[in-house]
Chains A and B, each alone.
Chain A
Amino acid sequence: MLEVSGISKSFGGLQAVSEASLKVSEGSIVSLIGPNGAGKTTLFAIISGFLKADSGTVNLYGDALGGLKPFQVCQMGMVRTFQITQPFAKLSILENIMIGAYARIQNPEDAAQEAYKVAEHVGIRVPLESSAADLNVAGRKRLELARALATQPKILLLDEVMAGLNPTEVEEILKVIREIRNSGITIFLIEHVMQAVMSLSDYTYVLNNGRLIASGTPKQVAADPQVIEAYLGQGASKLNQNPAIDA
């Protein structure tokens, strides 16, 4: 459903993404991994309309997204979350999620109802009337997820929703993400937490220095010497036969 082909983007002299092509098929969980600075978030920003690519195309259900603004991309059914959570801090949790719901719903009562439903779905257990600023990191990640989910997307782009969470919280959010997929929403995620990538994704792309260096199932990718070297440095793949990044 989502097809990215030949995307390149440079900032001044820095080639952030070059010739990246990938595919996300309907109903799957696809992940994008890579070391810091690999260009993952840049690629996400291009796909969701926040940045304009220098070249290449993004297609959603066969429609080209080139030149569309983020809000239009959202209206077409693709929504992103932010790596650094961006809550509407002075508003209540409920209003935060309702704002997401308003993408498709006109009526405040219906939007509130949808918000309660989504909040329960992603496991926000604090009273929804409290302020979004009072949430801890895990809570904010959930809120970010809830807000995006409330827009009723067909495909969800998650930018490091697990960063900064403790293992229990990761476990909980993994469950939530699986449930979201099972409800029919395709998921494309950037992740650093390897445990998450390994157990969650159907297919994985690896980005390094702006280039896609490997793709395949998580197991294949983890065994790929190029990937190991990207993460651990040159020669690392020879030192350790086990998939090093799994450790």
Chain B
Amino acid sequence: MNFQKPSWMILGTLILVLLPWILFSEFLISFAVIVLYSATIGHSWNILGGYAGQFSFGSVLFFGTGAYTSSVLQMNFGINPWIGLIAGILMGALVGAFVGFLSFRFGLRGSYFALITLAFAEAFRIIANTVEFTGAGMGIYIPLDQHPLNFQFEGRTGFYYVILALFLIATAITLKLENSRFGSRLKAIRENEDAAEALGINTFRLKMQAIMISGGIGASGGTFYAQYYLYIDPSIAYGVDKSVEMLLVSIIGGMGTVMGPFIGSLVLHLINEISRHFINAPGLSLVVYGVILVLIIGFLPKGLTGAFQSQKKVKRA
């Protein structure tokens, strides 16, 4: 099964668009919202980690920046959250550029890059915890004012379409990476940076572009989160667990694939719901995530997407 065929893509999109009419229960729609939201921020990690090969362990930086940008603008300056969404995306890209410039300029690769992103995420969390305009440790409550113009909806369906749009945009960007000069060159950097450089690729510039795109997408997920739950605080916005979620859905689904984040997100949240249904132990899902990650890395290094495709490709050239 090749999910990247146009026919599959169109069918999948159609199903997702019609989903609220298929799923009548609010519970199922809110489940779909979570899956799409998780997949969207997964895309953010996937573009930087899966395609450009820069493994970030602090991608929550972008998420939190998006969440705080729209919320702070809204609470402190009365700026509409839809504009906040755009501002958040720009801020996410800017934070990406900032972190990217500092790490790529000095040639940080591999685990060093992972560590520096983690350090930045922690630094941002501590700053958000300290300064006044983010509400410090109290966080920000966004007052309930349900109106589409306000990025707040009465039912889940409105939110569903917003996150679906964000998810589809992120998917379209990733799809573009599969078959474009930019995407191929990113993959070249992932596979072998020296060889890429020798073949005329400005690796610094491309990595900067990748981290800025990643930042924008991650931030869009953050703004959505803030509007959906109407509350953020430093440990939600810049906590390590979101960083882990972002890379987990990509790795489980298949990094460097278009459908990876979606499949990973679907599987992860299904398992999460099921395990919560049977055993009521908070934190259990994290244990389950850990076990799945070990199994996936051990047996399916290409993720679930890779498992579908590998049967065809066993024939050696």
A-side residues, CB < 8 A to B, are 48, 50, 69-71, 74-75, 79-82, 86-91, 95, 98-100, 102-108, 111, 126-127, 130-131, 134-135, 147-148, 151
Interface residues of chain B: helix, strand, loop or mixed (majority): helix
Q: Which of B179, B181, B187 interacts with A88 by CB under 8 Å?
A: B187
CA distance A50 to B180 in the complex (A): 27
Distance in angstroms between the alpha carbons of A100 and B188 in the assembled complex: 10
Closest A-chain residue to B315, C-beta based?
Answer: A130
In the complex, B185 has a CB within 8 A of chain A: yes
Closest 6 A/B residue pairs (Cβ): A130-B317, A103-B200, A74-B200, A88-B191, A86-B195, A70-B197
Whether B194 sits at the interface, judged by CB under 8 Å, is yes
Asked if B195 and A102 make an inter-chain contact with CB atoms under 8 angstroms apart, the answer reads: no
Q: Provide the B192-210 mask, 1 if CB < 8 A to any CB of A, else 0.
A: 1011111111110000000
Determine whether the beta carbon of A91 is less than 8 Å from that of B185. no
A134 to B107 alpha-carbon distance, docked (Å) = 30
Complex CA gap A81/B203 in Å reads 17
Q: Determine the chain A residues whose CB is within 8 A of the CB of B2 once the complex forms.
A: none
Can you name 20 extra interface pairs (CB under 8 A) apart from A88-B187, A103-B201? A70-B194, A74-B199, A74-B200, A82-B194, A82-B195, A82-B198, A87-B191, A88-B195, A88-B196, A95-B187, A99-B185, A99-B188, A99-B201, A100-B200, A108-B179, A127-B317, A131-B317, A147-B199, A148-B198, A148-B199
Return chain B residues, CB-CB under 8 Å to A111. Answer: 181
On chain A, the residues within 8 Å of B317 by CB distance are 126-127, 130-131, 134-135
Whether the Cβ atoms of B194 and A71 lie closer than 8 Å is no
CA distance A159 to B194 in the complex (A): 15
Given contacts A102-B181, A134-B316, contact A151 B195 (CB under 8 A): no
**Interchain nearest-CB distance for B6 vs A (Å):** 16
B188-244 residues at the A interface, CB under 8 angstroms = 188, 191-192, 194-203
- Residues on B with beta carbons closer than 8 Å to the beta carbon of A107: 181
Q: Fill in one digit per residue for B274-317: 1 if any A CB lies within 8 Å of its CB, else 0.
A: 00000000000000000000000000000000000000010011
Q: Are the CB atoms of B200 and A86 closer together than 8 Å?
A: no
Min Cβ gap A49→B in Å is 8
Q: Is the CB of A71 within 8 A of B203?
A: yes
In the complex, whether B184 has a CB less than 8 A from a CB of chain A is: yes
Between B184, B185, B202, B203, the greatest number of chain A beta carbons within 10 A of the residue's beta carbon is seen for B184
Residue among B179, B194, B199 having the largest count of chain A Cβ atoms under 10 Å: B199
Contact A90 B191 (CB under 8 A): yes
Main SS class of interface, A: loop
Tally chain B residues at the interface, Cβ within 8 Å: 22
30 contacts across the A-B interface (CB closer than 8 A) = A70-B197, A70-B198, A71-B198, A71-B199, A75-B200, A79-B199, A79-B200, A80-B198, A81-B198, A82-B194, A87-B192, A87-B195, A88-B191, A89-B191, A90-B191, A91-B187, A95-B187, A99-B201, A100-B199, A102-B184, A102-B185, A103-B199, A103-B200, A104-B200, A105-B181, A108-B180, A108-B181, A111-B181, A130-B317, A148-B199
Give chain A residues whose Cβ lies under 8 Å from the Cβ of B180.
108
Residues of A within 8 A of B202 (CB): 69, 71
Q: B130 to nearest A CB, angstroms?
A: 40
Q: A69 and B197 in contact (CB under 8 A), knowing A95-B187, A98-B184, A131-B317?
A: yes
Q: How far is the CA of A95 from the CA of B179 in the complex (A)?
A: 10
| Given A134-B316, A147-B199: A99 and B192 interface contact (C-beta under 8 Å) | no
**B194 near A151 (CB under 8 angstroms)?**
no
Q: Give the chain A neighbours of B200 by CB distance below 8 A.
A: 71, 74-75, 79, 100, 102-104, 151
Contact indicator A95/B184 (Cβ below 8 Å): yes
Contact string against A for B residues 46-78, beta-carbon threshold 8 Å, 1 for contact and 0 otherwise: 000000000000000000000000000000000
Q: Which residues of B contact A88 (CB under 8 A)?
A: 187-188, 191-192, 195-196
For B192, what are the chain A residues with a Cβ–Cβ distance below 8 Å? 86-89
Chain A residues with Cβ below 8 Å from B179 are 108
* Nearest residue, chain B, Cβ from A85: B195
The closest CB in chain A to the CB of B203 belongs to A71
Contacts of A87 in B (CB 8 A): 191-192, 195
Smallest Cβ-Cβ distance to B181: which chain A residue: A102
